[in-house]
A = this chain, B = another copy of it.
Amino acid sequence: MNDLTQTPEMLIAQMGARARRAAALLAPAGDAQKTDALRRAAQALRDQAPAILAANARDMDNGIDNGLSAALLDRLRLDADRIAAMADGVDQVALLENPLGSVIDSSVRPNGLELSRVRVPLGVIGIIYESRPNVTADAAALCLRAGNAVILRGGSEAKESNRAIHTAMAEGIAAAGLPADAVQLVPTTDRAVVGALLRASDFVDLIVPRGGKSLVARVQEEARVPVLAHLDGINHSYVDGVADSAMAESLVLNAKLRRTGVCGSTETVLIDRAYGHAPALVKALLDAKCEVRGDDAVQAMDDRVIAAADEDWDTEYLDAIVSIRLVDGVEEAIAHIAAHASHHTDAIITEDAVVAERFLNAVDSAIVMWNASTQFADGGEFGLGAEIGISTGRLHARGPVALEGLTTYKWIVRGRGQARP
């Protein structure tokens, strides 16, 4: 499969041409055939668990030899439960509502032309990801269900696992009579191939990077193909003067500490000077082993508070660290968020509906919340089923992106011989 004299551009052009042909065959296939393919792929993952585990063991051995961190090794590691969960995830994508063929809107023009906008597949999607091998199955399932062909480029540390998972997925798809090329895995870990994929605008309609900040930054910098991604989740929870104190404490602790490594976690807490329970809130965070970096007023509340530096207001900690500032009401909170947020998810906690609506309208982020934890920023929690990612871009899809974000539409015009005057 991998010819050593081949340039990265040649490899991607070949894979891209195969993906285009596969996409053309997928588009007219019925939804039943696609869900059948997913169920067969899920079963193939279960049937081939021993081979997948053996491949994963080779990756783990290499990872240990190469000195991967414990965190990376944990992301890389598969076991029987994780394979079962991966297969169940593929089955669940088969249970989602069919995103294709639905009529977005329709109209009849005065001249009798009947217009409708109908959802169709996006085309060919490139997924670039790092150490988690489950992305090979998750992303392939979502792309396929939306009628797209996908080119997967996983991390070198997971190459054996990815190959084994891809084999199972492709077998399931072929067994349902769909083209196995609908899901292709880049057969080399040569980094130059990523560059070729990012520039392949003739063959790829959308790139989705799944991984850490350095990967996403590289993709956004180099890509000539449209990218759907978020770089940062610098999210805010604003505690208004008339917030309920028990709710504020519960939500802020959940938003910051439930899981600190997820993109929906709160990184900065803004507290209205009029809020009467700020010291108790700061103490609760500190007592929960969260490092607090505060402005002067917050430092005065507890000896354990560290002075926040300017860069703290622009930092995504992804750790048990929070920056806290007092503000003069909702307008100063909105201004702080406008200056520092990454436009991912920002929340207000208040009992005042008017203040809440002002915040929800004025904060220009993909997700804005009232009296809820920012950790709910997730396609599954939003009822979308699995998500391909969360977008902080403004075009095409914003916030959690699932099947609908992997589609586009066409205009269908039905006439009875109308010529244009």
Give the dominant DSSP class at A's interface. mixed
On whether the beta carbons of A394 and B115 are closer than 8 Å, the reply is: no
Known contacts A226-B226, A362-B28, A395-B226; decide if A412 and B373 are in contact (CB<8 Å): no
Cα of A113 to Cα of B374 in the assembled complex, Å: 12
Q: Is A149 at the interface (CB under 8 A from chain B)?
A: no
Q: Which of A151-159, A308-316, A413-421 participates in binding chain B? A: A413-421
Cα of A375 to Cα of B408 in the assembled complex, Å: 23
Known contacts A376-B420, A394-B205, A396-B396; decide if A365 and B410 are in contact (CB<8 Å): yes
Tell me, rounded to whole Å, the shortest Cβ–Cβ distance linking A375 to chain B: 4
Q: Is A123 at the interface (CB under 8 A from chain B)?
A: yes
On whether the beta carbons of B250 and A417 are closer than 8 Å, the reply is: yes
Q: Is A398 at the interface (CB under 8 A from chain B)?
A: yes
On whether the beta carbons of A251 and B419 are closer than 8 Å, the reply is: yes
Q: Is A338 at the interface (CB under 8 A from chain B)?
A: yes
Interface magnitude class on chain A: 35 or more
Residues on B with beta carbons closer than 8 Å to the beta carbon of A416: 371
Among B244, B338, B361, B373, contact of A418 (Cβ-Cβ < 8 Å): B373
Residues on B with beta carbons closer than 8 Å to the beta carbon of A356: 414
On whether the beta carbons of A381 and B109 are closer than 8 Å, the reply is: yes
Q: Is A399 at the interface (CB under 8 A from chain B)?
A: yes
Known contacts A338-B24, A368-B413, A372-B413; decide if A115 and B383 are in contact (CB<8 Å): yes
Residues on B with beta carbons closer than 8 Å to the beta carbon of A412: 360, 368-370
For chain A, residues 3 to 21, give those with C-beta under 8 angstroms from any C-beta of chain B: none
Tell me, rounded to whole Å, the shortest Cβ–Cβ distance linking A67 to chain B: 35
Tell me, rounded to whole Å, the shortest Cβ–Cβ distance linking A143 to chain B: 14
Known contacts A120-B364, A410-B365; decide if A415 and B254 are in contact (CB<8 Å): no
Q: Residue among A356, A370, A395 with the most chain B CB within 10 A?
A: A395
Q: Is A258 at the interface (CB under 8 A from chain B)?
A: yes
Residues on B with beta carbons closer than 8 Å to the beta carbon of A396: 395-396
Q: Is A62 at the interface (CB under 8 A from chain B)?
A: no
Cα of A362 to Cα of B121 in the assembled complex, Å: 12
12 contacts between A and B (CB under 8 A): A28-B362, A120-B364, A205-B394, A247-B417, A250-B419, A251-B417, A258-B419, A368-B410, A369-B413, A372-B414, A376-B413, A381-B420
Which residue numbers of A lie inside 8 Å of B, CB to CB?
24, 27-28, 107, 109, 113, 115, 120, 122-123, 205-206, 226, 244, 247, 250-251, 253-255, 258, 338, 356, 360-362, 364-373, 375-376, 381-383, 393-396, 398-400, 408-420
